[in-house]
Structure 1
């Protein structure tokens, strides 16, 4: 909403404010009287402001027609028809956008649609689909005939083995609002091992996307402290699908949450954004020669080195975070790779493999 009555702005600003304010749904079409609530609030100048509003609506419609070749601003009854005895109502055609439309823009949304098809929750995927529908209505033929547009018939994304969890749209909206407005957030969070949700207050910091899971990262309530390490102990991550309810608290998050030490990039470097033991390790692996090929293409770290042991084995060295995802990957490489160092990680992987073997050896 504009900070001041729309009538107080220059004409160009008034037209833009009206474009933003008008509803995007025929069922929610708004009358001149309803528009006046936001447009002007001077009772001594009501008649003049209402006339200006009518002229601004006519001017906005003319811009859409003459420049954008669009009948985006809809009047009911239609423009040009006699409205005697009727209340005229106005809305913006929901498929209309003043975004710059070119083949690069549409290509971006097409690729986003394909590459997130199986990695984002249905509610997120739907928003992308809606955007594409809008773009296709405006420039469908030109895009599909363009070199970029032809790519969509040559790309496909295969689904993840495990589907994305279902998210509560109202929870997502509250999280977005709290993050963008720097407000505290009250959530009801149900740990996967608990029977009921626990209510708690969070200082939200951001969202983390890991595979097809989304996590809210933030801090438990705490007083300011000169030592960043003390405040880091209050850091927490929450799986968004386990947040059963979220409500924005009209209280700002403390200034310390915005320190450079607590940016998402720094939290990631500190190993705070996923399950891990908070340490960097010097990983040494013995990997079968042919299985090692993909590590040339997709290295474990920037400092990764690979050396040949013999005709069967290679040695891989890399500095990595000791995360659960790393351990899962090492278990999946069970018959192809052996952890040499560190010994603590080797023991963890060995124990997981023994447990798996025990399950498979049990008689059902």
Structure 2
């Protein structure tokens, strides 16, 4: 309730205070006389204040219509109808929020629900669902008639060839809690090559999304050191789907984990968030002319250069990180391209290709 009678405020403040004081259900709808108990208490000026209240209600209804495209301020009988012989009553639609609602806002929540919610704890997913229910109730027709609303009928995301793994919601909940509260985490981790999960302590740093996999970036417990490189040796990435249990320990992570060099952006720059050697290399490829076309559209790096060798081949050079994902891509391009440099990477790709050929030959 306002600290003072609403009538004592300026008009803009009166409208906001009036909005706050109105009930949120039809069952609790109030009349002008009842509203006057909080609106004005000057008996000598009661008639004028009551008239101001009527005008403020009309003004508030106009604002909701003009700005929010909503009939949130409801009058019984309805606005525009003759109330002769009746007592008009007022209330706010319970689904209405004064949050700014436009097509971009609704589109954001729709996309968050459709593409991101599976990575969030159950409680977060429920909040998104509740928000969408509210938004759709408020502005359903306007949104679906808007350009962004119509996009929903023209968008689809195709699944990866390999489906996303199942994530344990309790594990995700604990990871989120540990990250937000800067607490240590005890996890049971199932390595692919081990029979049983191993329990270990982690200083959690953040989550990494790679394709449809989610990884927890963190550090092994260790003492602070003056040399950051020593601490970087303790960095680890854990596939979240292989964490069978996660327990938040009521013990803060050390201050050194918060150093600038250990932010997720810095760790990415240092090549710590992907598998492979992750060192920067000068990649040189010989690529067939037509296969090279997509590299004009989707370059390997900002410094990529493509030169013509002859009518059949192009040479592509780019500075890239030597990751497992890069090697997987080069293998997938093997019938269309050849690694020229570096020679070490060429040897790795050749070995993988020869192993694959042997598998197919053995299968005959």
Once the 2 structures are TM-superposed, how far is the Cα of residue 115 of structure 1 from its aligned partner?
Answer: 5.0
Distance 1:313 1:235 in 2: 41
2:121–2:172: 8 Å Cα contact kept in structure 1?
no
Q: Report the counterpart of residue 278 of structure 1 in structure 2.
A: 278
| 1:232-251 → structure 2 map (5 Å cutoff) | 232-251=232-251
Once the 2 structures are TM-superposed, how far is the Cα of residue 135 of structure 1 from its aligned partner?
Answer: 2.2
Distance 1:270 1:104, change over 3 A: same
1:245-276 Cα deviation digits (max 9, x unpaired): 11111111110000001111010000000102
Distance 1:160 1:242 in 2: 19
Once the 2 structures are TM-superposed, how far is the Cα of residue 64 of structure 1 from its aligned partner?
Answer: 4.2
Q: Report the counterpart of residue 263 of structure 2 in structure 1.
A: 263
Distance 1:277 1:111 in 2: 35
Distance 1:157 1:298 in 2: 19
Secondary structure of the 1:207 match is: strand
Q: CA RMSD in A?
A: 2.8
Distance 1:143 1:244, change over 3 A: same
Once the 2 structures are TM-superposed, how far is the Cα of residue 147 of structure 1 from its aligned partner?
Answer: 2.2
Q: Report the counterpart of residue 289 of structure 1 in structure 2.
A: 289
**Residue 225, structure 1, aligned to residue 225, structure 2:** yes
Distance 1:96 1:253 in 2: 42
**Residue 172, structure 1, aligned to residue 147, structure 2:** no
2:281–2:342: 8 Å Cα contact kept in structure 1?
yes
Q: Report the counterpart of residue 151 of structure 2 in structure 1.
A: 151
Once the 2 structures are TM-superposed, how far is the Cα of residue 307 of structure 1 from its aligned partner?
Answer: 0.5
Once the 2 structures are TM-superposed, how far is the Cα of residue 121 of structure 1 from its aligned partner?
Answer: 8.3
Distance 1:274 1:146, change over 3 A: same
Using structure 1 for the length normalisation, give the TM-score: 0.72
Distance 1:233 1:70 in 2: 61
| 1:1-364 → structure 2 map (5 Å cutoff) | 62=22, 64=24, 69=72, 99-115=99-115, 131-364=131-364
Secondary structure of the 1:148 match is: helix
Distance 2:213 2:330 in 1: 21
Once the 2 structures are TM-superposed, how far is the Cα of residue 134 of structure 1 from its aligned partner?
Answer: 3.7
Once the 2 structures are TM-superposed, how far is the Cα of residue 153 of structure 1 from its aligned partner?
Answer: 1.3
Distance 2:227 2:121 in 1: 42
Once the 2 structures are TM-superposed, how far is the Cα of residue 162 of structure 1 from its aligned partner?
Answer: 1.1
1:92-131 Cα deviation digits (max 9, x unpaired): x8x77664322110112233445559x8589687775554
- Aligned pairs, number: 287
Distance 1:193 1:99, change over 3 A: farther
In our comparison, the structure showing a higher alpha carbon Rg is: 2
Distance 2:96 2:178 in 1: 29
1:282–1:317: 8 Å Cα contact kept in structure 2?
yes
Distance 1:128 1:295 in 2: 38
Q: Report the counterpart of residue 3 of structure 1 in structure 2.
A: none
Distance 2:272 2:344 in 1: 21
Distance 1:270 1:205 in 2: 15
Distance 2:308 2:115 in 1: 36
Distance 1:129 1:356 in 2: 46
Distance 1:125 1:164, change over 3 A: farther
Once the 2 structures are TM-superposed, how far is the Cα of residue 362 of structure 1 from its aligned partner?
Answer: 1.7
Q: Report the counterpart of residue 22 of structure 1 in structure 2.
A: none
Secondary structure of the 1:199 match is: strand
Distance 2:186 2:213 in 1: 21
Structure 1, unaligned runs of 5 or more = 1-9, 13-58, 72-92
